[in-house]
A and B are shown apart, each in its own frame.
Chain A
Amino acid sequence: MSDHPIVGGYLLPGLPHPLLAADQNAGWGRLRRAFEQVREDIRQSGADLILMYSTMWPSVIGHQIQADPEPVWTHVDELFHDLGAIPYHFKMDSDFAEQFHLACKNRGLATRTVSYKGFPIDTGSVVCLKLTNPDNFLPAVICSSNVYADRAETVVLGKAAVEALKQSGKKAVAVVVGTLSNRLHQTWIDPAEDHIHSLKDQEWNQKILAFLEAGRLEDVAQLSRQIHAEARVHKVVNFKSFWWLSAVMGAHNLYQGTVYGYEPVYGTGSAVIGLKRAAHAAQDLEFDEESPDVYRGDRNVLAPSLEARGEFDSQLQVGPALGEED
C-alpha cells in the first residue's frame, strides 16, 4: 500500500448551477449527484483534510493560501448573481496552511497565508466545499492560482504541498476546482437548452475524459499547453491545474480514473472526475516523460489508447534493464 500522503484526487467544476439551480437542467442535476458520490468517496478515504487548488481564485503576489480557521460569509457570484446567495461557514486547517506556506517558501516560491474576516472566497471553492463537504466533515485548505505562474512554479507548488503533508503526518485528498473547456455561452440561454459551447470544445473534453478515465494523469498534464491553446479561453497564461495535480499526486499514469459526471454548464465542459492510485498503469501511452532506449516510432498519443497499446508497450524490455549490464 502506498504511503503517499495524497489518498485521492478530484477535478470538480466550480460554476454555481449544480448547487443553486440543479432542478433547472437535468445535466446540472446529474452533476450534483456526481458531487454527492465524491462526498461519500472523500468520507471513506481516510483523509485528514481537503487540499484545494482553485483556478477560480486568481492571485498576483505569488500564491495565497486560505488560513482563516472559520470563514463565514454570504457569497454571491459576480456573473450568476440571479441564481441566489450562498451562505457558508467553513472550517480550514490553519496549521496545515502555515506548514504549506513554509514549504513553499523553502522552495523559493512567493506565497502567503490569508486570514481576514470577509475575505472573498471564490465561487468555485465555495460551491465545491458546499457540495462535497457540507458538514465540514474534514477541514480544508484552499490555494489560489497565480495568474503569472507557469509550469515550474505550479509544479513546485504541488511538491511543496506533498512535503508539507509528509511533515505534518496528515493525509489529504487533492481537489482541483476548474472546468475542462471553459468557454461560456455569450448570450442568455434557456437552462434546458444548455450544451457545450462548440464541437471543438466537446471533442477536446472527450479526449481529456478518455485520458483521465484511463488513469493517464501525467499525459493530461503534459498536454496542458495544447489543451490551453485548443479548448480554453486565455484568461491566464496557461492551463495549470493538471500540472499541480500531477505534482501533488505523482507525475505518472498509475491511476484508476472515474468520471462521475460530465455535463455542459452554461457552455463549459464541467466534469466530476476522481483519480485513485493503481498498481499498474491502465494504459501505456505516456506522452514524453520516459527516457526510452530504443526508438519505436512516433506515438500517436491523441489516438484512442487501445489502438496503440500493443504497438508501443514500454513495459516490454528489448535488452537488459538499466544497471543490469554485465
Chain B
Amino acid sequence: MTKGSIVAGVLAPHPPHLVYAENPEQNEPRAECGWETLRWGYERLRKSLEQIEYDSMVVLSPHWQTYVGTHFLGVPSFKSLSVDPIFPNLFRFHYELTVDVPLAETMEAHAREAGLVTKMMRNPDFRVDYGTIVSCHLTRPEWDKPIVSISSHRATQYFSADVMQGHMLKLGRATREAIEASGKRVVLLASNSLSHRHFTSESEVPEDMSREHIYHHGQYLWDMKMIELMRQGRAREIVELIPDFTEQAVAETDSGALTWMLSALDFPEYPAEVHGYGTVIGTGNAIVEWPQARHGGAA
C-alpha cells in the first residue's frame, strides 16, 4: 500500500456567523452580508485546496467536548439538523455527511496504542457538533469528501494547558502515523478561533459590521503575535506559547486543536499562508493553511 500523507493542515475556525452570512441552502436563517474578510479568506482557502488531491478531511472540534478521553465519529453517515446552542438565531443547518470510519478506527487504534484514553462513537442518533459542521462546510461546501471528527478532550479544564499540550502532541503523532498507515491523502482542520472572549450582547442585526471588533486590544496583540509566527514558519514556538496564549487571550487553543494539528504536521518550518483574519462577536479568527503537499508532503 502507498504510504498515506497529510497534504494540508488548516486553521479553520467555526463561527456559525460565517455560514449564516453565506446563505447556503442548508441553513434556515437568511443574512444580508457580514464578516466578508473571513468569508473571502475561506474562499481563498477553497481555491488553494482545489489544487490538491485528497481523500478525506479530519477535523478536531472544540464543540465536541469530552471530559473522559478522546472520541472519534464511528458511524458511516449522518443526516440531521444542527442548531447552534449559543446562536440558534443564526445557525439551523440541515446536514448530511459521510464518515471515513476505517480511517477513524485506525486513528483511534494508534491513539490508544500511544497511551491515550479513547472511544469510538457508534450511536446512530448522535448529533454531530456544529464546530465540525461549520469548519467542514466552509472548507468544502460540496460535502463530497468523507470526514473524521475528533472530540476535544478537556484536559485544559481538568488539569492545565500544559497537560492538554502533552495529550495533543501525542494525539498529533498518532494521527500522522494512522494516516501514513491508511495510504490516504488527508486534509487536517483545526477548528478553533484564536482569542476567544465574546461580547455578551448581540446587535439587533447580527451582521451589522459597525458593531464588530476585537473584544480588547490585548487579544488583538496576541492574535497578531501568533499569526506572525505562523507566517514565519515557527510552529514549535507557537506550540510553546500556546499555554500562555490560552490563558492570557482566553484563546480557543484550550481545545487542543491547533497543538494537535501542528504536531501531526511535525511542526512545519515553512511559512504558513494566511488567507484571512477577522473578528466574530469579539473573538479573533484566522484562516491559515500549511500547504504540506507543496512543501514536500513531509508528513
Residues of chain A at the chain B interface (Cβ within 8 Å): 57-62, 74, 76, 78-79, 81-82, 84-85, 110, 114, 116-120, 122, 146, 148, 183-188, 233-235, 266
Contact = CB atoms under 8 A, between A and B. Distances in A.
Interface in B274-294: 281
Given A188-B119, A234-B157, A81 B83 contact: no
A62 B68 contact: no
Interface residues of B, number: 34
A100 to B, nearest CB: 18
B87 A78 contact: no
B129 A76 contact: no
Contacts of B69: 186-188
Nearest to A62: B200
Interface in B109-161: 117, 119, 121-123, 125-127, 129, 151, 154, 157-158
Contacts of A188: 68-69, 117, 119
A82 B85 contact: no
A62 B201 contact: yes
A146 B200 contact: yes
Contacts of B126: 76, 78, 81
Interface in B58-82: 64-69, 71, 80-82
B200 A117 contact: no
A265 B233 CA distance: 46
Given A85-B123, A118-B92, A235-B154, 6 more contacts: A58-B85, A61-B201, A62-B201, A118-B80, A118-B82, A188-B68
A122 B81 CA distance: 16
B205 interface: no
Interface in B138-188: 151, 154, 157-158
Contact of A185 (B68, B71, B83, B129): B68
* Ranked 10 nearest A-B pairs via Cβ: A85-B125, A118-B81, A81-B123, A76-B126, A110-B201, A118-B83, A116-B88, A60-B198, A184-B67, A119-B83
A120 B125 CA distance: 13
B91 to A, nearest CB: 10
A122 B201 CA distance: 22
B202 A184 contact: no
B243 to A, nearest CB: 15
Contacts, number: 90
Interface in B196-254: 198, 200-202
B83 A60 contact: no
Contacts of A148: 198, 200
A117 to B, nearest CB: 7
A77 B202 CA distance: 29
A269 B123 CA distance: 27
Contacts of B154: 235
A326 B112 CA distance: 79
Contacts of B123: 76, 81-82, 84-85
B82 to A, nearest CB: 8
A82 B65 CA distance: 15
B94 to A, nearest CB: 9
B88 A61 contact: no
Contacts of B67: 79, 184, 233
A184 B64 contact: no
B86 interface: yes
Given A61-B200, A76-B126, A235-B157, A120 B83 contact: yes
A183 B68 contact: no
Given A114-B88, A119-B88, A120-B83, A266 B68 contact: yes
B78 to A, nearest CB: 11
A184 B92 CA distance: 31
Nearest to A61: B202
Contacts of B82: 118
B65 A78 contact: yes
Nearest to A110: B201
A82 B123 CA distance: 7
Contacts of A119: 83, 85, 88
B87 A61 contact: yes
25 contacts: A58-B85, A58-B86, A60-B281, A61-B86, A61-B201, A62-B200, A76-B123, A76-B125, A76-B126, A78-B64, A81-B126, A82-B122, A82-B123, A85-B123, A85-B125, A110-B200, A110-B201, A120-B83, A183-B158, A185-B68, A187-B68, A187-B117, A188-B119, A233-B158, A266-B68
